[in-house]
Chains A and B, each alone.
Chain A
Amino acid sequence: MTDLLAAIGRIFLGFLTHTGRLSAFTATAVSHVVRPPFYPRLILRQMIEIGYFSLPVVGLTAIFSGMVLALQSYTGFARFSAEGAVATVVVLSMTRELGPVLAGLMVAGRIGASMAAEIGTMRVTEQIDALTTLSTNPFKYLVAPRILAGTLMLPFLVLIADIIGVFGGYIVGVYKLDFNSATYISRTWEFLEPLDVISGLTKAAVFGFLITLMGCYNGYYSRGGAQGVGAATTNAVVSAAIMILVFNYIITAMFFGK
């Protein structure tokens, strides 16, 4: 009985230490994002890494999601003769949900993992200590440029994903399901509201922040050689993915909740 209580106590304390450390890390990171000096060179390099090099994987994800959405909603809606809604369903699903969530998850796998691995390796090979001894704050030099670039580039990626996804739906709609091209396009615009896109881009910015934050945080506190870096990489991806799904619900509720 006391063993059980002790175990629960330990887990609870571990949880508290962890949240406390993450909060402190987040606060320090954000303070360095908004406070000069800035490193434009490093920010630009991260923006290219996150924005440009993620385009293929995000684009592929988006086009197939758009295509399957059109196909699924067509066959599903045919049961109650609502096939006409396909274009609207595709564009609303992409901009509000699938664009940000799928792009976020793909980028979490790509960028979150590589950030945790890179910063984690720098930690265990004492490169982060070396930064400090060279009068350079690791938060300013490593963490802030990554978080800033992630928060700025994810909305850009999601906007592209939205467009490509809608285009995927259009291809299936017009070439497979025999919609009239002009009708499909006008149906796409008909019920789309600015808030649909804005909510999706807001999600993207938050996801970009979370992905880079978890990548940097897990890398920064990794220890114990190659094994520690491996664990940090896994944790970065898993925690970012879970946080994306949780915050996706919260932001949706904030924008559209009754």
Chain B
Amino acid sequence: MTTPTPKIRLADVHKAFGPKVVLDGIDLSVARGESVVVIGGSGTGKSVMLKCILGLLRPESGSIQVDGEEVVGLSSREREQVMRKFGMLFQGGALFDSLKVWENVAFGLIQGQGMERARARDIAIEKLAQVGLAASSGDLFPAELSGGMQKRVSLARAIATSPEIIFFDEPTTGLDPIMADVINDLIVKCCKELGATALSITHDMASARKIADRIAMLYKGRLIWVGPAKDIDRSGNEFVDQFIHGRAQGPISMELRA
């Protein structure tokens, strides 16, 4: 084999909820250490795609491989092993609101890896510092933080176990432009430091340009364009053009009206 095994490989993945088809044949490979961003309108199934890879949802058909290992249909115990490779920043943060901030960040270390609380706490404080939060914020509860701080805590939790693969689901949505850029920088920095493979979702083009090596566009259950981030402005695809310029007129709105 001359080409190395991709870190993540999706082949012909289908997922529907009842009669509603969400993913209709997704093919995507992400190489080790690469950062791929998936763009697409709201409700097109971007989060569903990530959840299928994580095994939170089960696709009806198709194959998903992580490091060459098939992960569709693993038992919950085998799944726990595969999960150790992953970190995930959820769209809504999904912080545990009954736990303090530092316990949230240290969760994967304490529960997942069985580390002692004192040591996990030190690492958590260190990770909080990496995302620009003071050690004192570690003793607060998530509800006491602003939206931007919650995103940063989620980011710290996603990277706390130094995962090989990190998923970011709309990391900048709902933040002001400056905070969004701070988060983008943090994502780039964290991925570089960990040498991690990243798969992100966004509909914020500034964010996509900043963190992506490659960009893929999801539309109607398929990836209609995949290419290097620098080529996004000359994709030659009218759907992509309409999306990145945020125009109301174009093939996408015509489809909606039809």
Instruction: Compute how far the CA of A150 lies from the CA of B79 in the bound complex, rounded to whole angstroms.
Output: 29
Q: A133-B54, A136-B107 are in contact. Are A126 and B83 (CB under 8 A)?
A: no
1/0 per residue B148-172: CB within 8 Å of A?
0000000001000100000000000
A134, B94: Cβ atoms under 8 Å? no
| Chain A residue contacts of B51, Cβ below 8 A | 129
| Residues of A149-197 contacting chain B, CB below 8 A | none
Instruction: Compute how far the CA of A135 lies from the CA of B88 in the bound complex, rounded to whole angstroms.
Output: 11
Min CB distance, A137 to chain B, in Å?
A: 6
Q: Is A252 interfacial (CB 8 A cutoff)?
A: no
Min CB distance, A130 to chain B, in Å?
A: 4
Q: Is B91 interfacial (CB 8 A cutoff)?
A: yes
Instruction: Compute how far the CA of A137 lies from the CA of B80 in the bound complex, rounded to whole angstroms.
Output: 8
Q: Is A25 interfacial (CB 8 A cutoff)?
A: no
| Residue among A118, A121, A126 with the highest chain B CB neighbour number at 10 A | A126
On A, residues with C-beta under 8 Å from B are 118, 121-122, 125-127, 129-130, 132-137, 141
Instruction: Compute how far the CA of A133 lies from the CA of B86 in the bound complex, rounded to whole angstroms.
Output: 7
Instruction: Compute how far the CA of A114 lies from the CA of B91 in the bound complex, rounded to whole angstroms.
Output: 26
Number of interface residues of B (CB under 8 A): 27
| Chain B residue contacts of A127, Cβ below 8 A | 94-97
A130, B90: Cβ atoms under 8 Å? yes
Q: Is B108 interfacial (CB 8 A cutoff)?
A: yes
Q: Is B84 interfacial (CB 8 A cutoff)?
A: yes
Min CB distance, B76 to chain A, in Å?
A: 6
| Chain B residue contacts of A132, Cβ below 8 A | 54-56, 79, 83
A126, B111: Cβ atoms under 8 Å? no
Instruction: Compute how far the CA of A132 lies from the CA of B86 in the bound complex, rounded to whole angstroms.
Output: 11
Q: A132-B56, A134-B83 are in contact. Are A126 and B92 (CB under 8 A)?
A: yes
Q: Is B112 interfacial (CB 8 A cutoff)?
A: yes
Instruction: Compute how far the CA of A107 lies from the CA of B216 in the bound complex, rounded to whole angstroms.
Output: 52
B76, A130: Cβ atoms under 8 Å? no
Q: A133-B54, A134-B111, A134-B112 are in contact. Are A125 and B94 (CB under 8 A)?
A: yes
1/0 per residue B43-70: CB within 8 Å of A?
0000000010011100000000000000
1/0 per residue B83-105: CB within 8 Å of A?
11011101110111110000000
| Chain A residue contacts of B113, Cβ below 8 A | 135
B90, A136: Cβ atoms under 8 Å? no
Give the nearest-CB partner of A132 in chain B: B56
Q: A125-B94, A126-B94 are in contact. Are A133 and B111 (CB under 8 A)?
A: no
A127-B95, A132-B83, A133-B86 known; 10 new pairs, CB 8 Å cut-off, are A127-B94, A129-B94, A130-B88, A130-B90, A132-B55, A132-B56, A134-B108, A134-B161, A135-B84, A136-B107
Give the nearest-CB partner of B154 in chain A: A130
| Chain A residue contacts of B86, Cβ below 8 A | 133
B94, A130: Cβ atoms under 8 Å? yes
| Chain A residue contacts of B84, Cβ below 8 A | 135
| Chain B residue contacts of A126, Cβ below 8 A | 90-92, 94
Instruction: Compute how far the CA of A134 lies from the CA of B82 in the bound complex, rounded to whole angstroms.
Output: 11
A129, B90: Cβ atoms under 8 Å? yes
Give the nearest-CB partner of A135 in chain B: B112
Instruction: Compute how far the CA of A16 lies from the CA of B157 in the bound complex, rounded to whole angstroms.
Output: 40
A136, B111: Cβ atoms under 8 Å? yes
